[in-house]
Amino acid sequence: MFNAEKIKNDCVAWIREFFDKNGKGCNAVVGISGGKDSSVVAALCVEALGKDRVIGVLMPCGEQHDIDCAYSLVNHLGIKHYVVNIFDALEGLKKNLPAELELTSVTLNNLPPRIRMTTLYAVSQSCNGRVANTCNLSEDWVGYSTRYGDSVGDFSPLSRLTVQEVKEIGHLLGLPEELVEKTPIDGLCGKTDEDNLGFTYAELDRYIRTGEIEDEEKKKLIDAKHKANLFKLELMPCFEPEI
């Protein structure tokens, strides 16, 4: 049985310990999308460090239809925040790439999260910060993140917790219902996560924790995605010379 209160308290203690060892007095810098993951990470950091040491960064790309959710979160927590619109940076990069280079849809979809991570580190290194990773176990399990984009950071409170577990902690933290239960959208192509994946997070979470799943085709799909994307969770391979 998942004990949300124990895990929440343990995670808060872990965040404090991380900062004691890796940046005593530093600030937590969190990219705020307005979804459950960034909301829960920000709230955990506030409980661990105090709101004066948590900085939210909102990074719309032009117009963001759900930007009000991100504002709702930073206002709810009372944390300092910056808004950095990445549209010009994205368009500038695209325009300056070689004209003969045909950008694939995958390339175009992954440019924004990589620019956002660059933005987070620009803010972090300018305000004595440490960047929070906001991915969860369910997304990581099937590679639903951008390598060197939202998949990285300096510390990761949720990467061993499933979507359902993150939601439980979000409710326990007293976050607004509309943020915790907000339908997850990839922010890349406009589809929901579950539309893109081909299965629900509830099905995936159950399979991760128990190994149980009724639909054999979905099992095969999850297993294939997990195997194909394991490299995202591993350190970069290094040549080891025999010297």
Q: What CATH number is attached to the domain comprising 100?
A: 3.40.50.620
Judged against a pLDDT cut of 70, whether residue 33 lies above it is answered with yes
Give the chain's domain count: 1
- Residue 169 placed within a domain: yes
Q: How confident is the model at residue 189 (pLDDT cuts 50, 70, 90)?
A: low
Q: Is residue 62 part of a domain?
A: yes
Look up residue 229 and give its two tokens.
Answer: 């994307």
DSSP state of 183: P
How far is 238 from 243, CA to CA, in rounded Å?
15
Domain membership of residue 117 (yes or no) is: yes
CA dihedral 37, 235, 130, 65 (to 10 degrees): -40
Q: Give the span between the Cα atoms of 145 and 160, in whole angstroms.
A: 15
CA-wise closest residue to 79 among 107, 106, 50: 50
116 pLDDT exceeds 60? yes
> How far, in Å, are 34, 42, 114, 240 from residue 27 at the CA level?
20, 11, 22, 36
Residue type, 136: N
Q: Average of pLDDT values for 73-81?
A: 98
Q: Are 133 and 37 in contact (CB under 8 A)?
A: no
**CA nearest to 53, candidates 106, 130, 119, 162:** 130
Q: If pLDDT is split at 50, 70 and 90, which confidence band does 173 have?
A: very high
**Dihedral over Cα of 82, 88, 94, 96: its sign:** negative
Position 14 in a domain: yes
Q: Is residue 242 part of a domain?
A: no
Paired tokens of 41: 């990470």
Q: Residue 176 above 80 pLDDT? A: yes
- Number of Cβ atoms within 10 Å of the Cβ of 119: 18
How far is C-alpha 108 from the geometric centre of its chain's CA atoms?
19
pLDDT, average across residues 106-116: 96
Residues of the domain holding 9: 4-183
Residue 235 pLDDT? 87
- What is the rounded CA–CA span in Å between residue 154 and residue 176? 27
Q: How confident is the model over 119-141, as pLDDT tens digits?
A: 999 999 999 999 999 999 999 99
Tell me if 217 is assigned to some domain.
Answer: no
Exposure letters 142-166 (e unless 16+ CB within 10 A, then b)? bbbbbeebbbbbbbbbbbebbbbbb
pTM comes to: 0.94
Cross-strand partners of 10:
none
Mean pLDDT computed over every residue of the chain: 95
**CA 136 centroid distance within chain:** 7
